[in-house]
Amino acid sequence: MKVIILQIENEFGSYGDDKAYLHHLVKLARGHLGDGIIFSATWGTADLAFWSWQYHQLGLYTTDGGSRENLEKGTIRGDAVFSTVDFTTGDDPWPIFKLQKEFNAPGKSPPLSSEFYTGWLTHWGEKNAKTGADFTASALEKILSQNGSAVLYMVHGGTNFGFYNGANTGVDESDYKPDITSYDYDAPISESGDVENAKFNDRSLLTSALRRVIELHTAASLPSVPSDNGKMGYGPIQLQKTAFLFDLLDNINPADVVESENPLSMESVGQMFGFLLYVSEYTPKDDKSVLLIPEVHDRAQVFTLCHSEDNSRRPTHVGSIDRLSSKKLGLPNAKCASNISLFVLVPDYPVENQGHVNYGPYIFDKKGILSSVFLDGSILHGWKMIPIPFHNLNEVPKINLIIEVAHSRFSTVSTQGELKDKSGNVSEVPAFFTGHFFIKNANQIHDTFISFSGWGKGIAVVNDFNIGRYWPSFGPQCNLYVPAPILRHGENVLVILELESPSPELVIHSVDHPDFTCGSSKSSVHQL
């Protein structure tokens, strides 16, 4: 395999202006990949990818939004690095391609939209983003009809498995918008690989919108259209509570606990994924106390525990503080002979899912408690930070706490009945739930979707694979996609960590279709 062209930065001009950094990336690329590569020379119209001009050197390029300011900041002038552009679907492309020429060497600036948006992403709480097929095809036609080229973004939708969804911001850092788990993007090829849609292949028409445009501008015959992938619903999955999240603290190595006068960010304690538990103590008052966390990224659940009470009790949920709204929380007065422990559980929603911001001026997006914590106006000192990592998908953890706790207790719970919450506050204490479903025959293994309608918020793991976050109460995504290779013949195990409110029936369904109608959001068509 040969690398013929490499992108050294993506939309850097939107949030940075550092030519030394860009030149350093060029040096790194040349050092690792060399510069003696020869590659083909033709620029085509409907090839929907681009080639470098015939040039005895590794092709490097940048992509920036199609404005002068972005290109000034994000490109390297000359012929060492090719400058490409992206812009909103539906914009007139040719004034932007004319601007692109100014940032490339004379005669070496073929017009290229390196991100032609076929759809758009969706944030939690929004309507599911849809883009009209005819509108998208018309915008592509404007590029191809005058010998321009485009890279379709996305051709194939995807999934933000694990903790990999990202986030955006609006007018300022507080306008935080985390991506949903699905990255279907309303792409011509869906998240699950389906192609039966108006953008790719509508069998009710002679051809679909995008294929029709491409056929007009290429001499080559387009390949035949494959069938949609098979889908299967495996029916209801009965769950049982197998552990409370706070039970995991017994498995934490004391050497991993970090102590500090003030709270530290997740990154400062070396944790990028999962959860970080902040613990402090305060002396209760007769009157109700007010907790203030001025800066929390992204969402904190607050619990209290009186040490003088029965040691078998678990922390009681008090409420939540999030990045978008309330920073204050009233702590109930308590008749407690000793200090009360304050637990602040902060879910980390990292790069790419209620995730690290991955575009724009607020890209340096630390997680956790990022300020002092105030109790009745005074700073609360003396904190312990306890990591509960639930590692990312590219790491093999020494101990997978979700799987270990849920599996080890499932057999015990199955014989003794459901685990009881001694605090009497079942619904608001984060807990693990485990269920099994069976696939009788190997030829019945197909893609499926797990429906979380009626549940609150959490993460789900199928056969030790983190399929992502669910939040149907906020919407719009109801179901999480499970590709067939994750499943297996025989017993399959589903483990979820529910943070807020389990469905009273403790049932989840495996179904054969996606669903983006949860919460108050409804699907709508966007002309981007």
Q: How many residues does the chain have?
A: 528
Residue in 9, 115, 428, 498 annotated catalytic: 115
In this structure, is the dihedral angle defined by the CA atoms of residues 39, 42, 47 and 49, taken in order, positive or negative?
positive
Closest CA to 119 of 76, 162, 85, 88: 88
- Say if strands 82-86 and 59-65 run parallel, antiparallel, or are unpaired: parallel
Query: Collapsing DSSP states into helix, strand and coil, what is residue 252?
Result: coil
Largest CA distance in the chain: 84
**Contact criterion met (CB below 8 Å) for 160 and 468:** yes
Peptide bond into 93 cis (omega under 30): no
- Say if strands 490-498 and 431-439 run parallel, antiparallel, or are unpaired: antiparallel
C-alpha to C-alpha distance for 64 and 103, rounded to whole angstroms? 11
Helix 209-216 vs helix 133-144: angle between axes, to the nearest 10 degrees? Answer: 20
In this structure, is the dihedral angle defined by the CA atoms of residues 280, 282, 287 and 292, taken in order, positive or negative?
negative
Which residue type sits at 164?
Y
Residue in 11, 126, 191, 498 annotated catalytic: 11
| Sequence-ordered alpha helix ranges (H) in 335-490 | 401-416
State the DSSP string of 410-448: HHHHHHH-SPP-TTS--TTS-EEEEEEEEE-SGGG--BE
481: its two tokens:
């996609």
498 labelled catalytic: no
C-alpha to C-alpha distance for 157 and 516, rounded to whole angstroms? 15
11 labelled catalytic: yes
Q: To which H or E segment does residue 352 belong?
A: none
C-alpha to C-alpha distance for 295 and 181, rounded to whole angstroms? 25
142: its two tokens:
């404007």
Peptide bond into 298 cis (omega under 30): yes
| Sequence-ordered alpha helix ranges (H) in 18-164 | 19-33, 68-74, 93-101, 133-144
Query: Collapsing DSSP states into helix, strand and coil, what is residue 490?
Result: strand
**Contact criterion met (CB below 8 Å) for 249 and 369:** no
Instruction: Report CA-CA distances (Å) from 37 to 4, 30, 114.
Output: 7, 11, 22
Residues tagged active-site: 11, 115
